């Protein structure tokens, strides 16, 4: 390409954009409900270990490929390994999986839009906690309302990516990301005063291995990839806009720690409500939407608080979908030489159509036999398919690529450029070449039942 690659304006700009991509529904919506379903403490511990030992080295790996090639995934893999190499397949896998994630993500973000409007109309007034909770079921099972919000949210995302990410999203992220942190911390502190806090703290932070299953462990790995935006080449694309003076390892750590903090604070905010009001931690995808309005209804300033929270949720979802759409349309621009506007609209339309089965999942209007066949509705099925298989496998391929296939000198030089953490090159290489692939493989084998780690360690 003759056109000069765009670059981030500043180090802060990159951190905000990457953190904006990472912090989103994954930390605020998915982390609490998956933790609830997997029994708490032990799952949280595995999630933490995955973030630090697997995601951190991989995050650096994606940035290294991205900055070294200044390309999007498919092109990056083919530059580094030759045009006909099968590594290109890893790039295509990343693109396909991004489309799938985006398709159901927009539906959940649509729920957040719906709850913003609900908050404005003070829907919790005069309702009991059970009645407030039942609003979610009503929403999930109403196909056409879901489609409306999904479409609106996609238009919002398209508008931002269309109009230029750097200007718009970076400027807003500077104000709204700190605002989100403030509201989250304030709510978490309030939650700590609830009677159920003790039980919640025990649930979240005291590991009880008896409640952890092999599938749960793989799910923790997938969740860590999901919240870190890893595995699908998103961070790779963002890395391609980095400048040589940017510090890859240090900024990676900052972004991951921010993401981790948001997930944990979200847990501290939500679980005390669950135990105080006698709800089940296993409520599933509706957890956040069911519990938080009940908390807001108890607090002074319900209208403002609730509206502000859900608006921020929409916003964090938006900074994440912007990264998804940006990655997909940048890939189309590069692969098919389409102009930006055409790429953006075609991808958006495709994602809308692909999202319809998720939108209509709980209404029984489409694929009504699905739940009986798969044991969960369409939405839940594809979401756990992505978490358990696509993300770990993509992650495995990227770690193998960085560790073994990509040219050594280029990789090492890229790591060292702009960083004061040069001494960590060796440990990083060890992690990405051995530990990361080994851990991912172990978890995959365990999940397929080919080996049984449980049997090796305990209960003998």
The binding site for ligand TRP (CB under 6 A) comprises: 21-22, 24-27, 101, 226-227, 229, 231-232, 234, 320, 323-324
Integer Cα distance of 327 and 324 in angstroms:
5
Integer Cα distance of 362 and 372 in angstroms:
12
Which lies closer to ligand TRP via its Cβ, residue 51 or residue 194?
51
Which lies closer to ligand TRP via its Cβ, residue 255 or residue 362?
255
Q: 418 by DSSP, 3-state: which? A: coil
**Shortest Å, Cβ 298 to ligand TRP:** 27
**Shortest Å, Cβ 60 to ligand TRP:** 16
Integer Cα distance of 93 and 331 in angstroms:
13
> For residue 138, how many C-alpha atoms fall within 13 Å in the half-sphere facing its CB?
10
As given in the structure block, the two tokens for residue 411 are 């990789």
**Shortest Å, Cβ 157 to ligand TRP:** 12
* Residue 316 CB partners (closer than 8 Å, separation 6+): 20, 23, 24, 25, 28, 176, 177, 180
* Residue 115 CB partners (closer than 8 Å, separation 6+): 289, 293, 306, 310, 313
**Shortest Å, Cβ 93 to ligand TRP:** 12
3-state SS of the chain: helix, strand, coil percent to 5?
Answer: 80, 0, 20
**Shortest Å, Cβ 51 to ligand TRP:** 12
**Shortest Å, Cβ 137 to ligand TRP:** 23
Integer Cα distance of 221 and 447 in angstroms:
11
* Residue 369 CB partners (closer than 8 Å, separation 6+): none
User: Of 261, 230, 232, 237, which Cα lies nearest the Cα of 165?
Assistant: 237
Q: How many CB atoms lie within 10 A of CB 213?
A: 16
The secondary element (H helix, E strand) that includes residue 457 is helix 453-457
**Shortest Å, Cβ 263 to ligand TRP:** 9
Which lies closer to ligand TRP via its Cβ, residue 46 or residue 133?
46
- Expressed in angstroms, the distance from the first to the final Cα of the chain is 61
As given in the structure block, the two tokens for residue 3 are 């056109």
**Shortest Å, Cβ 294 to ligand TRP:** 23
Which lies closer to ligand TRP via its Cβ, residue 75 or residue 230?
230
Which lies closer to ligand TRP via its Cβ, residue 255 or residue 443?
255
The secondary element (H helix, E strand) that includes residue 382 is helix 378-385
Which lies closer to ligand TRP via its Cβ, residue 276 or residue 327?
327
Nearest residue to the partner ligand TRP, using Cβ: 26
* Residue 400 CB partners (closer than 8 Å, separation 6+): 437
**Shortest Å, Cβ 106 to ligand TRP:** 11
């Amino acid at each position: 390409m003759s056109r000069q690659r765009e670059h981030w304006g500043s180090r802060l700009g990159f951190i905000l954009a990457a953190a904006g991509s990472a912090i989103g529904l994954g930390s605020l919506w998915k982390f609490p409900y998956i933790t609830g379903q997997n029994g708490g403490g032990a799952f949280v511990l595995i999630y933490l270990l995955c973030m630090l030992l697997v995601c951190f080295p991989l995050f650096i790996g994606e940035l290294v490929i991205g900055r070294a090639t200044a390309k999007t995934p498919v092109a990056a893999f083919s530059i580094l390994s030759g045009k006909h190499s099968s590594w290109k397949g890893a790039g295509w896998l990343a693109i396909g999986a991004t489309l799938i994630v985006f398709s159901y993500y927009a539906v959940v973000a649509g729920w957040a839009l719906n709850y913003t409007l609900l908050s404005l109309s003070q829907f919790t007034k005069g309702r009991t906690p059970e009645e407030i909770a039942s609003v979610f079921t009503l929403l999930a099972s109403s196909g056409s309302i879901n489609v409306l919000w999904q479409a609106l949210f996609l238009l919002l995302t398209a508008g931002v990516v269309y109009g230029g990410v750097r200007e718009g999203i970076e400027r807003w992220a500077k104000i709204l990301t700190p605002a989100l942190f403030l509201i989250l911390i304030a709510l978490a502190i309030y939650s700590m005063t609830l009677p159920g806090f003790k039980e919640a703290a025990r649930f979240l932070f005291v590991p009880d291995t008896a409640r952890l299953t092999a599938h749960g462990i793989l799910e923790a790995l997938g969740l860590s990839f999901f919240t870190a935006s890893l595995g699908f080449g998103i961070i790779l694309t963002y890395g391609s806009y980095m400048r040589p003076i940017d510090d890859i390892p240090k900024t990676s750590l900052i972004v991951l720690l921010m993401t981790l903090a948001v997930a944990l604070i979200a847990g501290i905010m939500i679980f005390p409500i669950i135990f105080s009001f006698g709800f089940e931690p296993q409520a599933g995808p509706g957890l956040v939407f069911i519990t938080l309005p009940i908390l807001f209804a108890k607090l002074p300033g319900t209208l403002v608080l609730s509206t502000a929270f859900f608006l921020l949720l929409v916003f964090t979802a938006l900074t994440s979908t912007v990264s998804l759409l940006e990655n997909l349309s940048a890939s189309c621009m590069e692969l098919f030489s389409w102009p930006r506007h055409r790429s953006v609209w075609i991808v958006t339309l495709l994602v809308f159509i692909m999202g319809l089965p998720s939108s209509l999942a709980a209404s029984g209007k489409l694929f009504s036999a699905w739940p009986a066949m798969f044991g969960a509705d369409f939405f839940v099925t594809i979401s756990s398919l992505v978490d358990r298989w696509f993300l770990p496998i993509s992650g495995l391929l990227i770690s193998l690529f960085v560790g073994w296939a990509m040219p050594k000198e280029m990789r090492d030089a890229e790591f060292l450029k702009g960083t004061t953490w040069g001494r960590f090159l060796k440990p990083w290489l060890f992690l990405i070449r051995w530990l990361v692939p080994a851990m991912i493989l172990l978890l995959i084998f365990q999940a397929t039942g080919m080996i049984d780690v449980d049997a090796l360690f305990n209960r003998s």
